[in-house]
Structure 1
């Protein structure tokens, strides 16, 4: 039977929390958020099958099992620490972990990221993906870019980018349904739905007293939604940064000169309140805000 080993990052979190008697202090020492540290300790507790800390609102205290297990963990970590390694003297590279939605990563972050890495080659950047509106708990990343309404309790929230929303369709789809000359003629079209880009607000701007579509395909990824439009599956709402290349190539066309100036969702940078950003993380936040200012 294959052996299961405890996750090392969880062992380190456990040792740090036990040594400092504070999850907040331990999280700061490990350069992670308190919720990330709590997650790692819960992961270790699930692995060992017993509680390690007593959490009663005061400073966390070790359980009897936790005290016994701590001795084993400290011995194991010390053995790993004392093992001679040739490259140990090398300085640790500053690292930023950022979690972003897939469409933002593809169309907005990656085309600009080289300007940050060129200016700060000493900082490593790790990019992770999340699903908008679903992954609502801040992960073990230092920062997240979220696409939503900007209401995130207990998180620091900075608006990064807001763009008007407008409907697009492929030329082949328009030809197939006989064209769309006015907003009212959308009644004969298939409207692709998304919780990220609801139609109701655009209907109001276009003078249509229509409810939010409740049937048909729903795609909760803005890049996939635009791809469905390009493939001729219906009409969808999009934004300039996502669609400009397809529009330039003639793969999709903007239907009307009617745009929703302030859609219900925008991109925000979020991180935990009270978290003191490390210098490299603050540099990245400043770079993000400057990169998309006026975009």
Structure 2
């Protein structure tokens, strides 16, 4: 029967935190965030069913079990580190881990990423995805792009850009319903719902005293919402960056000139506050702000 071993990354986090008696210093050494290091320690303690540290404010000290376990961990890590690997080439790779929402990644991040790699070919980018409004904790990423209200306590938050929201529908769908010539005619249409693009703010701008729709297809992914519009499921709210190609091809059309200039949700660049930011991470943050604020 296979024996379940603790994750190596949790063991290295434990050893570094024990050596420095500090999660923050250990996190800096391992090039991860303090919250990511804390997560790794919790993962190890859950695996062991034992506490390895006593946390007192910002200081940490080893428990009696932790002191005994540390000796074992150091021997194991030393054995792994010193094992000869004849084909391995040692190199110090600069790396930035970034977490982004899937629609942002597909429509806005990937088309621009080549610019960054051309400017900084020595920096490797690792991309992770998460669902907006659901996962709100920085894990092992250096930087996150979040789509939301921008209220993230204890994190450095910078708005990337402001983009209006407007209505789109497919020509095929519009042929199946009564003509939509004014916003009030939307009573004949199916309004696609999303927590990411609520209807109420747009209703107010359009002069409609309507409540937020509570029935019908709901999709909490902006790219998938646009796909639903394209395939004739109803009318949806979208942004120019996402819809411009479909509008240009005629697969969807914009309805009305009315738009919501300041939607409740926008894209924000988020990271933990650090006294010393790794140079490659700072380069990436600066590039993101410059790149998207120019649009």
Interval containing the TM-score (normalised by the shorter chain):
over 0.9
**1:74-122 CA distances to partner (integer Å, 9 max, x unpaired)?**
0001111111233566321100100000000000000010111111111
Q: Secondary structure at the match of 1:135?
A: coil
Change (3 A) 1:22 1:265: same
TM-score calculated relative to the size of structure 2: 0.97
CA distance in 2, matches of 1:39, 1:107: 31
Residue 280 of structure 1 aligns to a residue whose secondary structure is helix
What is the CA deviation profile of residues 225-248 of structure 1, one whole-angstrom value per residue up to 9, with x for unaligned ones? 000000100110000000000011
Q: Which residue of 2 aligns with 1:132?
A: 132
Unaligned runs of 5+ in 1: none
What does 1:48-87 correspond to in 2, within 5 Å? 48-57=48-57, 59-86=59-86
Structure with more of its chain in strand, by fraction: 2
Residue 263 of structure 2: aligned partner = 263
Is there any run of 5+ residues in structure 2 with no aligned partner, and where? none
Work out the number of aligned pairs and report it: 295
Equivalent-residue separation in structure 1 for 2:227 and 2:149 (angstroms): 24
Q: Distance in 2 between matches of 1:136 and 1:283?
A: 24
Asked if 1 retains the 8 angstrom alpha-carbon contact of 2:22 and 2:58, the reply is no
Determine the structure 1 residue equivalent to 2:118. Answer: 118
Residues 190 and 234, structure 1, Cα contact 8 Å, conserved in 2? yes
User: Any idea what the Cα deviations from partners look like across 1:140-168, whole Å, max 9, x if unmatched?
Assistant: 10000000111100000011122000010
Secondary structure of 2:257's match? coil
- What's the RMSD between the two structures over aligned residues? 1.2
Matched with 2:104 is: 104
- Kindly indicate whether the alpha-carbon contact (under 8 Å) linking 2:93 and 2:124 is maintained by their aligned counterparts in 1: yes
Structure 2 match to 1:21: 21
Q: Is the 8 A contact 1:145 1:269 kept in 2?
A: yes
Secondary structure of the 1:158 match is strand
Give a deviation string over 1:58-85, Cα, whole Å, max 9, x none.
5211111111110000000111111123
**Equivalent-residue separation in structure 1 for 2:88 and 2:251 (angstroms):** 53
TM-score (norm 1): 0.97
Task: Write out aligned runs for 1:1-295 (5 A).
Answer: 1-57=1-57, 59-86=59-86, 90-274=90-274, 276-295=276-295
C-alpha separation in 1, matches of 2:135 and 2:30: 23
Displacement after TM superposition at 1:56 (Å): 3.0
How many angstroms does 1:200 deviate by?
0.6
How far does residue 2 in structure 1 lie from its aligned partner after superposition?
A: 2.0
- Rounded to whole Å, the distance in 2 between the matches of 1:26 and 1:175 is 62
Q: How far is the alpha carbon of 1:57 from its aligned partner?
A: 2.3
- After superposition, the Cα gap between the structure-2 partners of 1:24 and 1:3, relative to the gap in structure 1 and judged at 3 Å, is same
**4+ residue runs of structure 1 moved beyond 3 angstroms?**
86-89
- The answer to whether the 8 A contact 1:96-1:123 is kept is yes
Give, in whole Å, the separation in 2 of the partners of 1:18 and 1:266.
40
Superposed displacement of residue 178, structure 1: 2.6
Secondary structure of the residue that 1:177 maps to in structure 2?
Answer: coil
The answer to whether the 8 Å contact 2:156/2:272 transfers is yes
